[in-house]
Amino acid sequence: MKELETLQTWLDESRSTVFFGGAGVSTESGIPDFRSVDGLYNQKYQYPPESIISHSFFKANPEEFYRFYRDRMLYLDAKPNAAHRKLAELEKAGKLAAVVTQNIDGLHQAAGSKMVLELHGSVHRNYCLKCHKFFDVAYVKNSEGIPRCDACGGIVKPDVVLYEESLDGHTISEAVRYIEQADVLIVGGTSLAVYPAAGLINYYRGKRLVLINKTPTPYDHSADLMITGKIGEVFSQIRV
Ligand code: NAD
């Protein structure tokens, strides 16, 4: 494929490549995204998923929140796929500066990536809302109903950014810094529909913006190189 050759050349010539991804990066690991036809938003729940994973819903209805969250957002058996693995290899070889991700599944780190900026937090970190004690994901997964702090009895909340919550300022500014300095920016597996994360693309100043996605996005017209396809399959063909 001609597009793949161009991507390979751009990667080979790049001094600073940054990858910016979303839920589509993990679908080949068996974690559903939100907006695909078989994504979470097209399945039926008692409440729309976008309501359940909001701050106000968590406050008003934590038990229902956790029912959905444990069932549909924790995939502890999922393994990194070819995209996660190739990105980690590129970083190790000094060819990738950072991964900026909207994902909360920790699969980039599981693949060995070190510089990962998690815009929406991680299911692997959980804190007591009262005393801030840390809990791992197994604690949340194995608890019943609302997970409670074993030290003070407070409610334990995942360190993930729910709708209506703001993103961490330091993570955002680091992501902006990396994207501004990138000479190649690869954006993949994201519908680019969730703000402010999607707006980060606007900080890129170079002329080698690569979009890899299965379906069209609102930014397709801005891409210097469009690759339509599965991101794991694309990255498996990249040479480090
Ligand atoms: P999204 O569901 O809105 O969009 C996913 C996009 O990826 C779609 O355009 C889809 O066509 C594409 N896609 C799916 N599988 C693909 C593949 N194998 N190769 C290439 N493209 C593929 O996801 P989003 O843009 O990341 O926004 C949703 C929000 O949901 C994010 O903020 C994220 O925090 C959260 N989320 C995270 C996870 C996770 O951590 N794995 C899973 C679901 C949702």
For the segment 131-142, the average pLDDT, to the nearest whole number, is: 97
pTM of the model: 0.95
Pairing between β-strand 184-188 and β-strand 17-21 as defined by DSSP bridges: parallel
Please report, rounded to a whole number, the percentage of residues in the chain having pLDDT higher than 90. 88
Instruction: Output the six-digit token pair for 227.
Output: 């690759």
Other beta carbons within 10 Å of 155: 16
Distance linking the first and last C-alpha atoms of the chain:
18
State pLDDT tens for residues 32-42: 988 765 666 66
Q: How far is the centre of ligand 1, averaged over its atoms, from the C-alpha of 37 (Å)?
A: 12
pLDDT at residue 39, as a whole number:
67
Does residue 103 have its Cβ closer than 6 Å to ligand 1? yes
Which atom of ligand 1 is closest in space to residue 230's alpha carbon?
Answer: 19
120 is catalytic: yes
Amino acid at 111: A
Read off the pLDDT of residues 145-179 as tens digits, 9 standing for 90 and up: 999 999 999 999 999 999 999 999 999 999 999 99
> Which tens digit of pLDDT belongs to each residue from 118-132?
999 999 999 999 999
pLDDT at 12: 96
Taking the CA of residue 105 as reference, the ligand 1 atom at the shortest distance is: 40
At 202-238, the pLDDT tens digits run 999 999 999 999 999 999 999 999 999 999 999 999 9
pLDDT at 58 over 80: yes
Q: Place 195 in a pLDDT band, splitting at 50, 70 and 90.
A: confident
Which stretch of DSSP H or E encloses residue 134? strand 134-135
Of the candidates 84, 120, 170, 221, the residue annotated as catalytic is: 120
